[in-house]
């Protein structure tokens, strides 16, 4: 036998497995991290600040739900080698996919606005005015994708994911009551209070966004993960779901231990960062604001690209950063247009941002049932998935997850239209 190949890279079998996992990980962890975007962090902080430790119990079921949906997404991507939009089109035809893509475009534009407003807000916390921070951020985002390749961009994104640790430190610095936190994580406390129900709906609503499923599957496909390494991709998806909710846990914790305990009224991340400084120290406040900037910038990098790629894939236009503007005008138009419009919109005075965010939330809610149902249909299609179709037990869990998510998104649309959210 010849062992020289092994000596080139690896020393021992466990190390080989770790190296393989590190090579394949990325899509799952990145997608889950972006789940904690500007909107997500705002919701978690407000949950902690307004309701305290009692909101922690939502995290374990949310982790399970996210892991189930993400696992299905990477499995579909690895087995079929196709993106979600392409699969839906091949399964159901162009009409439905067109409808979904139009909704996705609108909803993702709303989400992108939220990220850019997050950049403006966190810039202001550090004393950088929006007219400076927004164009710089937009240019950074645009160049990152247009000049980078998948490998280099993924490294930047993985680095961005690692920066979420600032929230864990910030939560620790807030000196939370660990015993109360532990109890509330495992034992739910239910209250029929309208504001309380609204907050839970909001929390769950930020967990699984439609665009995440498109992005996750697309990046697994782009990475060309082979079927033999499906296990590593699944591990990546599940690890990501856990990590992202650990971060959420610390965000809630930081706000619960300080702002809620002292009963300070807050309504946005700037308030929270300002309130944290005297209570948990300047470091905690700076880390919190820095985490928010990172999260907003991170999601702003992914959303426009993911939108352009999904829409082009579903409708059949040339797409990808390896194409020229002339070869892929629709792709570049959508990509650049989203970034430029979002930047301009947020820079305008008196933008009805709140209404836009509500509308994009409603759009998310309308879109999510379609996505989850079609993911379930495709994941059960033997022609596409072969032997990798959902198992019966998995279908029960995934079906229940989808049912709950759909129920909650309908509830959230109702709450929004009644003016609660």
Partner 1 sequence: MALVSLSEIVKKPVIDVHGEKVGKLADVIVSADAPYPKVKALTVRTSDKHSLTIPWTQVGGLGRQIPLKVGRDEIQQYDVQEHDVHLVEDVLDRQVIDVQGKKVRRVNDLQLSASNGSYLLIGVDIGVRGLLRRLGLEKVADRARIHFEGNYISWDAVDTIHSGPSALQLKVPKHKITKFHPADIADILDQLSVNDGLQLINSLDDEAAADTLEETSPERQISLIEGMETERAAEILEEMSPDDAADLLGDLPADRAEAILELMEPDESEDIKELLEYPEDSAGGIMTNEFVAVHADFTAQQAIEEIRTDAADVETIYYIYVIAKDETLVGVISLRNLLLARPVDKLSSFMRTDVITVQLTDDQRDVAKKIAKYNLLALPVVDEEKKLKGIVTVDDAIDVVLPTAWKKRVPKAFG
Residues 94-133 contacting partner 1, CB under 8 A: 94-95, 98
Helices and strands (H and E) in the chain: how many: 21, 0
Rounded least distance, CB 383 to partner 1, Å: 5
- Which of 278, 329, 386, 407 forms a contact with partner 1 (CB under 8 A)? 386
Is there binding between residue 324 and partner 1 (CB under 8 A)? yes
Rounded least distance, CB 310 to partner 1, Å: 14
Rounded least distance, CB 403 to partner 1, Å: 27
Residue placing its CB nearer to partner 1 in the complex, 80 or 184 = 80
Is there binding between residue 93 and partner 1 (CB under 8 A)? yes
Rounded least distance, CB 359 to partner 1, Å: 24
Residues 250-309 contacting partner 1, CB under 8 A: none
Q: Which of 303, 347, 275, 381 is nearest to 30 (CA)?
A: 303
d(CA 317, CA 100): 16
Q: Which of 136, 225, 266 is nearest to 275 (CA)?
A: 266
Tokens of 94: 């162009």
Is there binding between residue 74 and partner 1 (CB under 8 A)? no
Q: CB 396: neighbour CB atoms within 10 A?
A: 11
Residue placing its CB nearer to partner 1 in the complex, 56 or 308 = 308
DSSP state of 228: G
Rounded least distance, CB 209 to partner 1, Å: 25
d(CA 385, CA 81): 10
CA–centroid distance for 68 within its chain:
15
Is there binding between residue 12 and partner 1 (CB under 8 A)? no
Is there binding between residue 149 and partner 1 (CB under 8 A)? yes
Rounded least distance, CB 151 to partner 1, Å: 8
Tokens of 143: 């160049």
Q: CB 46: neighbour CB atoms within 10 A?
A: 23
Question: Per-residue x/- marks for partner 1, 341-380, CB under 8 A?
Answer: ----------------------------------------
Is there binding between residue 4 and partner 1 (CB under 8 A)? yes
Is the separation of the CB atoms in 167 and 324 below 8 Å? no
SS3 per residue for 79-120 = HHCCCHHHHHHHHHCHHHHHHHHHHHHHHHHHHHHHHHHHHH
For 385, counting Cβ atoms within 10 Å of its Cβ (0-12 exposed, 13-18 middle, 19+ buried), the class is middle
Question: Among 6-14, 58-66, 157-165, 190-198, which window interacts with partner 1 (CB under 8 A)?
Answer: 6-14
d(CA 306, CA 79): 20
- Which of 20, 105, 242, 344 forms a contact with partner 1 (CB under 8 A)? 20
Tokens of 10: 């690896």
Is the separation of the CB atoms in 285 and 293 below 8 Å? no
Token pair 């020229």: residue: 324
DSSP state of 257: I
Rounded least distance, CB 372 to partner 1, Å: 21
Q: At what angle do helices 282-315 and 165-173 cross, to 10 degrees?
A: 150
56 Cβ neighbours under 8 A, 6+ residues apart: 181, 184, 185, 249, 252, 253, 256
Is there binding between residue 143 and partner 1 (CB under 8 A)? no
Residue placing its CB nearer to partner 1 in the complex, 41 or 328 = 328
Is there binding between residue 1 and partner 1 (CB under 8 A)? yes
Tokens of 254: 């930081």
- Which of 60, 235, 323, 399 forms a contact with partner 1 (CB under 8 A)? 323
- Which of 46, 89, 240, 361 forms a contact with partner 1 (CB under 8 A)? 89
- Which of 179, 186, 348, 382 forms a contact with partner 1 (CB under 8 A)? 382
Is there binding between residue 147 and partner 1 (CB under 8 A)? yes
Q: What angle do CA 47, 53, 59 make, to 5 degrees?
A: 70
Residue placing its CB nearer to partner 1 in the complex, 274 or 385 = 385
Question: Per-residue x/- marks for partner 1, 206-245, CB under 8 A?
Answer: ---------------x-xxxxxx-----------------
Residue placing its CB nearer to partner 1 in the complex, 226 or 268 = 226
Q: Which parts of this chain interact with partner 1 (CB under 8 A)?
A: 1-10, 16, 20, 80-82, 86, 89-90, 93-95, 98, 146-147, 149-151, 221, 223-228, 315-316, 318, 320-325, 382-387
């Amino acid at each position: 036998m010849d062992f020289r190949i092994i000596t080139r890279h690896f020393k021992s079998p466990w190390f080989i497995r770790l190296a393989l996992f590190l090579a394949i990980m990325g899509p799952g962890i990145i997608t889950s991290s972006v789940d904690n975007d500007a909107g997500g962090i705002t919701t978690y902080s407000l949950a902690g600040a307004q309701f305290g430790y009692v909101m922690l119990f939502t995290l374990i079921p949310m982790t399970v739900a996210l892991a189930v949906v993400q696992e299905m997404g990477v499995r579909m991507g690895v087995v079929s080698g196709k993106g979600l939009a392409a699969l839906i089109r091949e399964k159901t035809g162009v009409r439905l996919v067109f409808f979904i893509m139009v909704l996705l475009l609108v909803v993702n534009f709303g989400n992108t606005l939220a990220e850019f407003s997050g950049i403006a807000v966190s810039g202001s916390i550090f004393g950088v005015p929006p007219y400076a921070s927004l164009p710089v951020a937009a240019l950074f985002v645009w160049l990152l994708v247009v000049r980078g390749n998948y490998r280099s961009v993924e490294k930047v994104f993985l680095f961005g994911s690692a920066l979420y640790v600032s929230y864990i430190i910030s939560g620790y610095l807030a000196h939370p009551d660990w015993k109360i936190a532990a109890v509330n994580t495992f034992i739910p406390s239910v209250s029929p209070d309208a504001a309380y129900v609204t907050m839970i709906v909001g929390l769950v609503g930020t967990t699984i966004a439609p665009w995440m499923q498109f992005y996750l599957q697309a990046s697994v496909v782009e990475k060309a993960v082979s079927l033999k390494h499906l296990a590593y991709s699944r591990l990546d998806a599940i690890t990501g779901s856990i990590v992202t909710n650990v971060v959420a846990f610390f965000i809630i914790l930081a706000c619960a231990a300080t702002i809620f305990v002292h009963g300070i009224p807050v309504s946005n991340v700037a308030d929270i960062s300002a309130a944290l400084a005297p209570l948990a120290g300047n470091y905690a406040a700076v880390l919190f604001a820095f985490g928010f900037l990172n999260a907003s910038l991170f999601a702003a990098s992914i959303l426009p690209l993911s939108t352009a790629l999904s829409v082009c894939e579903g409708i059949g236009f040339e797409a990808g950063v390896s194409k020229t503007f002339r070869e892929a005008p629709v792709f570049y138009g959508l990509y650049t247009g989203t970034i430029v419009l979002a930047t301009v919109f947020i820079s305008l005075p008196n933008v009805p941002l709140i209404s836009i965010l509500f509308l994009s939330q409603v759009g998310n809610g309308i879109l999510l049932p379609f996505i989850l149902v079609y993911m379930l249909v495709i994941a059960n299609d033997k022609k596409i998935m072969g032997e990798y179709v959902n198992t019966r037990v998995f279908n029960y869990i995934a079906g229940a997850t989808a049912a709950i998510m759909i129920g909650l998104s309908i509830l959230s649309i109702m709450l929004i239209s009644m003016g609660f959210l």
